[in-house]
C-alpha cells in the first residue's frame, strides 16, 4: 500500500467544527489526503460569532511544528489564522527551510461574523513575511483590498490587485474570490499566476450557511497540490468542491452555519452514507 500524501494546516480552532483546523482536516480527508495540524490560536466561536480568542505562546507553536517536521514532512502546507507578526516570522523559517513544499495561505483577517482574527501589526506585515513565499494566496475581496491598499469595485480593479500580488508582492499565484461581489446569480473567482489569468464561476446559492468557506476552499487547494496537481487544477477542484459544499449545507447552528465538507465525496461516490 502506498503511503498517503500529507497536508499540514497551521491555523486556529473552531470548537463547532465549521472553520479553522477542523474544517481543514475534514477537507483534506474529503480529498483523500492525510491531514496534520498545528494550532496557532484557540478560538471560542460558533455560528453566531467569536466569543474569545486565546493566542498560543510562540514556543508552543514552535514545539508543534518541530514535532511534525522532525518526524514526517508534509507534501503541502496551508496557513489560516495567524494572529501575530511573531507567528508569521516563525512559520516563515519552516517555509524557507523547505522551499519545495507547496504553500497555500488563506490570509484570514475576519470571521464570518465580522470579528477580527488578526492584530493590526500582523495585517500590515503579511505581504512582507508570508505572501512572497506563497504558491497560492486565497483572499476574498475585503482581504485583497486590505493587502493591496485599494478599493476593488470593478473587474479592472480585480486585475490591478491580482498583478500587485504577483508582480510586486511576489506570490506565485493568487485567487481573488468574488463571494463578496454584488452579483446575485454567480460567484466569480479570478486566479492569477505568473503566466496567465483564469476565471471560475459557480451559481450563487441563497443561504446564510457559509461559515468556513475560506478555510475549506484553501484547504482543498493545499490537498490537491499535495497530490501533485497544478495550481490551475487545484483551484478548479476547490471551486467545484466549495460550490457543492454550499449547495448542500448541513443546516447546523443558529447563525451562519458551516458548509458541507463531505458533499464532494458523495458526488464522487466515495461515501455511501
What is the tens place of the pLDDT at every residue in 241-260?
999 999 999 899 898 889 99
Torsion of CA 168, 169, 173, 178, to 10 degrees: -90
What does the pLDDT read at residue 185? 65
Please give the pLDDT value at position 202: 84
Q: Which of 193, 212, 237, 249 is catalytic?
A: 212
Look at residue 183 and tell me if it is in a domain: yes
Q: Is residue 120 part of a domain?
A: yes
Is the Cα dihedral 233, 38, 65, 68 positive or negative? negative
Selected catalytic residue, list 9, 47, 210, 249: 210
Q: Which of 16, 188, 215, 237 is catalytic?
A: 215
What separation in angstroms does the CA of 270 have from each of 119, 146, 264, 273? Answer: 40, 39, 9, 9
Q: Reply yes or no on whether 214 is catalytic.
A: yes
Task: Count how many domains the chain has.
Answer: 1
Give me the pLDDT at residue 121, please: 72
Q: Is residue 1 part of a domain?
A: no
**pLDDT of 89:** 96
- 37 DSSP assignment: E
Low-confidence ranges of the chain (pLDDT < 70): 1, 110-117, 119, 179-185, 268-273
Q: Out of 214, 239, 249, 257, which one is annotated catalytic?
A: 214
**55 assigned to some structural domain:** yes
177 catalytic? Reply is yes
Task: Decide if 215 is catalytic.
Answer: yes
Pairing of strands 186-193, 197-203: antiparallel
Q: Tell me: the pLDDT tens digits for 93-113?
A: 999 999 999 999 999 876 655
123 is catalytic: no
Residue 50 Cα distances to 84, 112, 178, 211, angstroms: 18, 9, 24, 12
Specify if 107 maps to a domain: yes
| Amino acid 139: pLDDT | 95
161 occurs within a structural domain: yes
The catalytic residue among 40, 47, 79, 213 is 213
Domain-embedded: residue 264: no
At 61, which CATH number?
Answer: 3.40.1190.20
The boundaries of the domain holding residue 172 are 6-259
Which candidate in 177, 188, 237, 239 is catalytic? Answer: 177
Q: What is the pLDDT of residue 162?
A: 97
Examine residue 270 and state whether it is found in any structural domain, yes or no.
no
Which one, of 265, 216, 226, lies nearest residue 17 by Cα?
216
Amino acid at each position: 500500500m502506498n503511503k498517503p500524501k500529507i497536508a499540514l494546516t497551521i491555523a486556529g480552532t473552531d470548537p463547532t467544527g465549521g472553520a479553522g483546523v477542523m474544517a481543514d482536516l475534514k477537507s483534506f480527508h474529503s480529498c483523500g489526503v492525510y491531514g496534520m495540524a498545528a494550532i496557532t490560536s484557540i478560538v471560542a466561536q460558533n455560528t453566531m460569532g467569536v466569543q474569545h480568542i486565546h493566542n498560543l505562546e510562540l514556543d508552543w507553536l514552535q514545539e508543534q511544528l518541530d514535532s511534525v517536521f522532525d518526524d514526517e514532512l508534509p507534501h503541502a502546507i496551508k496557513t489560516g489564522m495567524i494572529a501575530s507578526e511573531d507567528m508569521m516570522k516563525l512559520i516563515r523559517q519552516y517555509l524557507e527551510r523547505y522551499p519545495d513544499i507547496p504553500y497555500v495561505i488563506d490570509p484570514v483577517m475576519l470571521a464570518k461574523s465580522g470579528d477580527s482574527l488578526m492584530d493590526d501589526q500582523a495585517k500590515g506585515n503579511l505581504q512582507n513575511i508570508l505572501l512572497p513565499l506563497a504558491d497560492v494566496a486565497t483572499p476574498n475581496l475585503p482581504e485583497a483590498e486590505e493587502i493591496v491598499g485599494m478599493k476593488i469595485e470593478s473587474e479592472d480593479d480585480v486585475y490591478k490587485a491580482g498583478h500587485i500580488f504577483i508582480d510586486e508582492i511576489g506570490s506565485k499565484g493568487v485567487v481573488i474570490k468574488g463571494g463578496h461581489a454584488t452579483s446575485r446569480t454567480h460567484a466569480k473567482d479570478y486566479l492569477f499566476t505568473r503566466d496567465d489569468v483564469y476565471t471560475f464561476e459557480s451559481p450563487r446559492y441563497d443561504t446564510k450557511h457559509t461559515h468556513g468557506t475560506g478555510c475549506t476552499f484553501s484547504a482543498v487547494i493545499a490537498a490537491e497540490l499535495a497530490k501533485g496537481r497544478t495550481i490551475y487544477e487545484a483551484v478548479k477542484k476547490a471551486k467545484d468542491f466549495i460550490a457543492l459544499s454550499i449547495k448542500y449545507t448541513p443546516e447546523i447552528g443558529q447563525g451562519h452555519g458551516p458548509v458541507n465538507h463531505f458533499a464532494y465525496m458523495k458526488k464522487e461516490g466515495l461515501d455511501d452514507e
